[in-house]
Amino acid sequence: MDQPSLAGRFLDELRAIVGARHVVSHPEDLLVYEYDGSIDRRAPLAVILPASTQEVSRVLALAYREGVPVSGRGAGTGLSGGAIAAPGGIQIGFARMNRILEVDTVNRTATVEPGVVNLDLDMHAHKFGLRYAPDPSSQRACTLGGNIAENAGGPHCLAYGATTNHVLGLEVVLEDGAVVSLGSLARETPGYDLRGVFVGSEGTFGVTTRIVVRLLPLPETVKTFLGIFPDLDSACTAVSAIIGYGIIPAALEMIDALSIRAVQNVMDAGYPPDAGAVLLVELEGLREEVEDTSREVEAALWEGGAAQVQVAEAAEHRAKLWLGRKNAFGAFGSIAPNYFLVDGVVPRTKLTQVLRQVSEISQRYAMPIANVFHAGDGNLHPIMLFDERVPGALEKALAAGGEILRICVEAGGTLTGEHGVGLEKKEYMPLVYTPEDLAAMKLARDAFAPANRLNPGKIFPDGQDHPPSPHRAAPGLYA
Q: What is the pLDDT along the chain (479 residues), one digit of tens a residue?
A: 555 566 899 999 999 999 999 999 999 999 999 999 999 999 999 999 999 999 999 999 999 999 999 999 999 999 999 999 999 999 999 999 999 999 999 999 999 999 999 999 999 999 999 999 999 999 999 999 999 999 999 999 999 999 999 999 999 999 999 999 999 877 677 889 999 999 999 999 999 999 999 999 999 999 999 999 999 999 999 999 998 889 999 999 999 999 999 999 999 999 999 999 999 999 999 999 999 999 999 999 999 999 999 999 889 999 999 999 999 999 999 999 999 999 999 999 999 999 999 999 999 999 999 999 999 999 999 999 999 999 999 999 999 999 999 999 999 999 999 999 999 999 999 999 999 999 999 999 999 999 999 999 999 998 755 555 444 443 333 22
Q: What is the pLDDT of residue 19?
A: 98
Q: Are 344 and 440 contained in the same domain?
A: yes
pLDDT value at residue 34: 96
Both 236 and 317 in a single domain? yes
341 and 248 co-located in one domain: no
pLDDT the model gives residue 2: 52
Measured distance between the N- and C-terminal CA atoms of the chain, rounded to whole angstroms: 46
| Residue 468: per-residue pLDDT | 54
Among residues 167, 197, 217, the one where a domain terminates is: 217
Q: What is the pLDDT of residue 465?
A: 52
Instruction: Please indicate, yes or no, whether residues 341 and 303 belong to a single structural domain of this protein.
Output: no
Rounded CA separation 281/227 (Å): 8
Tell which of 93, 127, 149 closes a domain. Answer: 93
| CA 264/CA 199 separation, integer angstroms | 36
Q: Is residue 477 part of a domain?
A: no
The confidence score (pLDDT) of residue 111 equals 97
Q: In sequence order, what DSSP letters do the residues of 290-346 get, joined into one string?
A: HHHHHHHHHHHHHHHT-SEEEEE-SHHHHHHHHHHHHTHHHHGGGT-SEEEE---B-
Q: What is the CATH number of the domain that holds 48?
A: 3.30.43.10
Does residue 274 sit within a domain?
A: yes
Domain membership flag for residue 289:
yes
Is-contact 138 79, C-beta < 8 A?
no
- 46 in a structural domain: yes
Q: Residue 476 has what pLDDT?
A: 34
Domain count across the chain? 4
pLDDT for res 228? 98
Is 459 part of any domain? no
* Domain shared by 104 and 213, yes or no: yes
The domain of 133 spans 100-217
**Strand, helix or coil for residue 425:** coil
pTM for the model: 0.93
Q: What is the spatial distance between Cα 43 and Cα 86, in angstroms, rounded to a whole number?
A: 9
pLDDT at 478: 27
Same domain, 327 and 374: no
**Cα 207 to the center of its chain, rounded Å:** 17
Whether 278 maps to a domain, the answer reads: yes
For the beta sheet containing 221-229, the strands, ordered from the edge strand earlier in sequence to the opposite edge, are 308-312, 221-229, 277-285, 251-256, 369-374, 382-386, 338-341
CATH of residue 302's domain is 3.30.70.2190
Q: Which of these three, 63, 93, 123, is where a domain ends?
A: 93
Same domain, 386 and 360: yes
Q: Is residue 186 part of a domain?
A: yes
The verdict on 243 and 286 lying in the same domain is yes
Same domain, 184 and 83: no
Q: Residue 189's pLDDT is what?
A: 77
Alpha-carbon span 110 to 131, nearest angstrom: 10
In this structure, is residue 243 part of a structural domain?
A: yes
For residue 473, the model assigns a pLDDT of: 40
Provide the CATH number for the domain around residue 192: 3.30.465.10
Residue 106 shares a structural domain with residue 211: yes
pLDDT for the residue numbered 205: 98
If DSSP states are collapsed to H, E and C, what string results for 174-223? CCCCCEEEEECCCCCCCCCCHHHHHCCCCCCCCEEEEEEEECEECCCEEE
User: Is 348 in the same domain as 441?
Assistant: yes
The answer on 79 and 16 residing in a single domain is yes
